[in-house]
Chain A
């Protein structure tokens, strides 16, 4: 009986010791709610009517739910089309970037050839080139190739970005794979391409996931390039550019704008919640390596 008593007080003490941590956590949850308040407010504003949006202040719960804002944003403000444009541009860019970074990272890591060191050197040197610096020649060359004012041109320009960290992620990963694996594949009769696609690329699945997720988020959120590529073709806008145009075109429909914002932001947030592991690994890799 005494033993039972001791056990109980022990547990109680342990619970007591956790109380300050729970208080700290609840305090942080409060800060976190303020932190994401702009998104919560946007979500609630997308369900208010324009009158209530102005008078409602920071109140989150709408008096009555106005779903009409979404149909207005989707149809009249063309956000349905902008969303499709964004999905098309993002998906194709992710595929192109992943493939090109994987193949480049692979040969740079596994083979020595003339110019490989120089190639890596140039890559690293362009790690931080801002879009604002390259934008004028990019537009000019796209004009010469008749690629301006088209989704195809936008996709090529977006996939032509440096993506140095993606190549370096593949480079580092392929570098540490033991050579025996490759030799075994050769013994089995696999050629260069087969070795890559059926042995090496499947092994690099975690890197592929990281690169794909990072590229997805970057491309979905891209603004500068889509902005200048759609000057004369409003029907090709992506959601981020469409949002900017929204304010200029219909300056009074703020509730519709909030609905458009929700339409544009929800896909990335959902994707992030499901794939956050790969996202975080990619970012933290930048510091560790």
Chain B
């Protein structure tokens, strides 16, 4: 744990490398049965809540994916793998799979690279108003995604939205950002990048704080220009963070139900239907809910997230190694 921190408002003048955890872990005390009881009492709320609402659902999804069940009746009929067969045979599932990945491809590079640029600008010690600026770029992050979705739907409305009426004055107009098959997903991607820009920017600011300022000063005395400083100090020092931040960002794009659902509801013609909306549609809005089918899709989705999670663990591990080599 490092005690150093960054903030939106205050500027750090003292910079030094955040020392890798120097606290040696204390030998854990031995304890008798009384303490053991207390330990489990302390764990109880987490065991119950987290067990009931996170662990159990993860396991139960597998069971539900093997039954046919509409959610109302008590009887669940075991059908083996036929739900999976149905899911894999459904072109709309593959469509949602594709949309989810395509969305990731659109969003992740923009988020990771543009935020790095902005973080570097907002990290310069000489820039005035730095606290105000950082806060402004961060504000969309704390606001409710579902409300942003609804408001943006109006702002982008082709007939009456303010964007289009402004375009009309410029001689254009009538652009159906969210209703056009080809525009809907890119528009949603732009809004998503805007909404969560601040989070990734904070990641990068935290990463930039770990570069000792003396390095820059020494290089500048040696006559290095801004580009050389960037190329030979910033880039190599940030390399391990690049991996961590990219994977964190990828994982975050899987939690995108709020924006997509309120913005487009998956339309037009399923062009923005991410897997979460696909699951939601089969489980909750179909006239006869098919929880087995939805669960099978959820399990496939869970596996996709898990694969990326595994890559992440590997990435963090590789990142640690990179950082170790540089020391």
Contacts and interface: CB of A to CB of B under 8 A. Distances in A.
A119 B142 CA distance: 31
A244 B166 contact: no
- Residue of B2, B35, B143, B312 with most partner-chain A CB within 10 A: B143
Interface string B137-154: 111101111111011111
16 contacts: A25-B127, A38-B148, A38-B152, A57-B165, A108-B43, A111-B39, A126-B54, A136-B291, A138-B57, A156-B52, A159-B53, A220-B144, A223-B144, A244-B150, A268-B144, A272-B142
B49 A96 contact: yes
A162 interface: yes
A140 to B, nearest CB: 7
Given A141-B56, A223-B257, A243-B147, A58 B162 contact: yes
Contacts of A272: 138-139, 142
Interface in B104-162: 121-122, 124, 126-129, 132-133, 135-140, 142-148, 150-155, 160, 162
A111 B31 contact: yes
B137 A32 contact: yes
A194 to B, nearest CB: 11
A167 B133 CA distance: 31
Interface band, chain A: 35 or more
Interface string A102-127: 01101110111100000100100111
A25 B128 contact: yes
Given A35-B137, A175-B23, A277-B7, A264 B144 contact: yes
Interface residues of B, number: 108
B254 A130 contact: yes
Nearest to A192: B38
Contacts of A281: 5-7
A33 B132 CA distance: 11
A159 B51 CA distance: 11
A258 interface: yes
Interface stretch (B87-95, B180-188, B229-237, B279-287): B279-287
B152 A269 contact: no
A241 B149 CA distance: 12
Given A21-B127, A106-B42, A224 B2 contact: no
Closest 5 CB pairs of A and B: A160-B53, A284-B206, A132-B276, A137-B57, A134-B57
B80 interface: no
Given A111-B35, A128-B309, A132-B275, A38 B206 contact: no
Interface in B35-72: 35-36, 38-39, 42-43, 45-46, 49-50, 52-58, 60-61, 64, 71
